[in-house]
């Protein structure tokens, strides 16, 4: 099971396992805490290898965290869903050692498209780190 | 020197060295090929640890590559520049083993703000992978 | 007073009057219903002159409605605030005669920047029309 | 014929006429100068009724101009194309009496999706006003 946390998912176990097998998330220390229909939540501790040249959390790491919950939430319906756009507003930078929490929520779902809002905050004090809007194209292909 | 490539930068060496010391870029295998005033170019090979659950390049890895050249180009003027927003349109997904090339170009520069266009393509065949628009806020703080 | 509706604003009257004097909003039939600190709400009926070639509400009209509440909310602090970016996800198109309602809420406020979420829905049935994230740069210049 | 300018389009005349019949564009004084496959260009003079509360071109007017060329370019293939997202970076504001020129160019075209870059500049001096990335979903429905 990914990242040592017991899944609190309400998905079929094979789908949950498929979505949790996310190599980049593992490489960045992202723990997927929960996947439900149209919803996902994950955490990432800002580590030395996820900093940028200025010594704060790299925007790429923050966006990777956001993209991970976006992917989990949008694929939770069991159909292959491909990101088509992702817009990030950066609100503050995570500092070394801080735990960032990202939550993805479904705003809109049609046969071919779905749109999600992702909020990233610092776990300890609730400070907003980034706000994201993102969309998928939904293929007919079923996932495991 | 970062990533084993000789810098083709036209920046002061101390600034070039500061900008090339990007821990997340190193962790993802991103090589910064060139930094000039308002411009940067980098490469990333899609590796096993930068894939997503579907087995193609993770959107977070592609955005990390884009963010890396955006940061290098925007900080090339020697003033601390902080990302305020970054918009990505995904055009196709990189496959395992493909080399992605990202180029950042300055569209607009004022005292407090600057805007960049970033294009990510596959090196071998020029296929478009992502197109990005992004903005920084420019602080007064000088970089090394 | 603009648009014939009694202001439900909690702003100084001179500031409220200044913000409600929005020529494009008047030209498109946008009624600003309420402006409070960091918040604004407005309505627009989809009319023949705000349609596109396909005969539904023009994306430009929907974005003008969103931009109007974004401007009112961001300038409500009494400092001149200039839009720097605005991202729109279109969720469904307004139809001729439908009333669209837009609400802007402040997500983040610093000395130089602020970020807003704007939601546009159909008044009669709550159908989502568009979701927006947008940012201003805040100048020192005071408004009336 | 729309706006009194002779079409320089390379489209079938019925399609050209359909796309040029854009009520909001007419209401804002937008002249569509040219529509070719995957490309469109239009002009708008900043008039009293397209200003905002600060007395410069309303962001909604600038985005309406951008959306108009985006719609013309994306529908130029003769299939109904619906905007799914539109991202605007504002670079400077148009002033009363200035002529703004917008050009839309196709970056990416697949069976179901297409992505466009739109640049808006001041005609007299080339000053950049806005830069846009936008995407459509392409339906099977043919246009006239």
pLDDT of residue A3: 47
pLDDT at B2 over 50: no
D83-121: pLDDT as tens digits: 999 999 999 999 999 999 999 999 999 999 999 999 999
Mean pLDDT across chain A? 95
Interface of A with C (CB under 8 A): 87, 89, 91, 107-108, 115, 117, 128, 131, 133, 135
- Chain D residues with a Cβ under 8 Å from any Cβ in chain C: 18-28, 48-54, 58-61, 63-68, 71, 75, 80, 82-90, 93
Which residues of chain A lie closer than 8 angstroms to D135, CB-CB?
A: 84-85
Range of the domain at C117: 2-142
- The residues, ordered by sequence, that sit 6+ positions from D53 with a Cβ below 8 Å of its Cβ are C18, C19, C20, C21, C22, C71, C75
Cα C32 from Cα D53, distance rounded (Å): 13
Q: Count H helices and E strands in chain C, helices first.
A: 3, 6
pTM of the predicted protein model? 0.96
ipTM over 0.90: yes
Convert the pLDDT of each residue in D3-53 to its tens digit. Answer: 445 567 889 999 999 999 999 999 999 999 999 999 999 999 999 999 999
pLDDT band at B7 (very low <50, low <70, confident <90, very high): low
Length reported for chain B: 144
pLDDT band of residue D2 (cuts 50, 70, 90) is very low
pLDDT at C45 over 60: yes
Tell me if B117 and D135 make a contact (CB, 8 A cut-off).
no
- C52: nearest Cα among D113, D79, D75: D75
The number of folded domains in chain D is 1
- For the stretch C51-87, pLDDT in tens is 999 999 999 999 999 999 999 999 999 999 999 999 9
Of C19, C49, C85, the CB nearest to D88: C85
Q: How far apart are CA C119 and CA D104, in angstroms?
A: 27
User: What is the per-residue pLDDT across B112-143, written as a single tens digit (0 to 9) for each?
Assistant: 999 999 999 999 999 999 999 999 999 999 99
DSSP string computed for A38-67: TEEEEEEE--GGGB-TTSSB-HHHHHHHHH
Contacts of C87 in chain A (CB under 8 A): 87, 133
pLDDT at residue D5, as a whole number: 53
- The pLDDT value given to residue D8: 77
Of the CA atoms within 13 Å of residue D123, those in its CB half-sphere come to 12
Choose among D47, D34, C131, C32: nearest CA to A131.
C131
C15 has pLDDT over 70: yes
Provide the pLDDT for residue A8.
77
Rounded CA-CA distance D144/D130 in Å is 32
Mean pLDDT, chain C, as a whole number? 95
Whether C67 and D63 lie within 8 Å, measured CB to CB: yes
Extended beta strands in D4-127, E state: 30-36, 39-45, 79-90, 99-109, 113-122
What was the pLDDT predicted at D15? Answer: 97
C1: confidence class by pLDDT, cuts 50, 70, 90 = very low
Q: CB D131 to CB B107 under 8 A?
A: yes
Q: Percentage of residues in chain B with pLDDT exceeding 90? A: 93
| For residues A118-136, average pLDDT | 98
A84–D112 CB contact, under 8 Å: no
| Residue carrying the six token digits 């090196």 | B123
Q: How confident is the model at residue B6 (pLDDT cuts 50, 70, 90)?
A: low
pLDDT of residue C21: 97
The reply to whether residue C115 touches residue A89, judged by beta carbons under 8 angstroms, is: yes
- Between CA C20 and CA C31 the distance in angstroms is 9
pLDDT score recorded for residue D42:
98
Q: Is the pLDDT assigned to residue D79 strictly greater than 70?
A: yes
Distances (CA, A) of A24 to A32, A80, B70, C47, D38: 12, 18, 21, 48, 36
Q: Which residues of C touch A115 (CB under 8 A)?
A: 89, 91, 131
- Give the number of other CB atoms < 10 A from CB of residue D84: 22
List CB contacts of B98: < 8 A, sequence separation 6 or more: B45, B46, B57, B122, B123, B124
Rounded to an integer, the average pLDDT of A21-47 is: 98
**Could you tell me the two tokens for B118?**
């970033």
Report the CATH number that the domain containing residue D93 is assigned in CATH.
3.10.129.10
Per-residue pLDDT for C3 more than 60?
no
pLDDT of residue C5: 52
């Amino acid at each position: 099971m990914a990242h040592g946390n017991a899944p609190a998912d309400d998905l079929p176990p094979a789908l949950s396992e498929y979505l949790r097998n996310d190599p980049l998330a593992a490489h960045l220390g992202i723990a997927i805490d929960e996947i439900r229909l149209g919803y996902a939540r994950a955490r990432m501790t800002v580590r030395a290898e996820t900093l940028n040249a200025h010594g704060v959390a790299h925007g790429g790491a923050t966006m990777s965290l956001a993209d991970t919950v976006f992917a989990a939430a949008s694929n939770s319906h069991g159909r292959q869903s491909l990101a088509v756009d992702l817009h990030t507003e950066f609100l503050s930078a995570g500092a070394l050692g801080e735990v960032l929490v990202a939550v993805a929520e479904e705003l809109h779902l049609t046969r071919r498209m779905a749109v999600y809002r992702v909020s990233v905050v610092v776990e300890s004090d609730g400070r907003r780190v980034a706000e994201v809007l993102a969309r998928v194209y939904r293929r007919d292909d079923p996932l495991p």
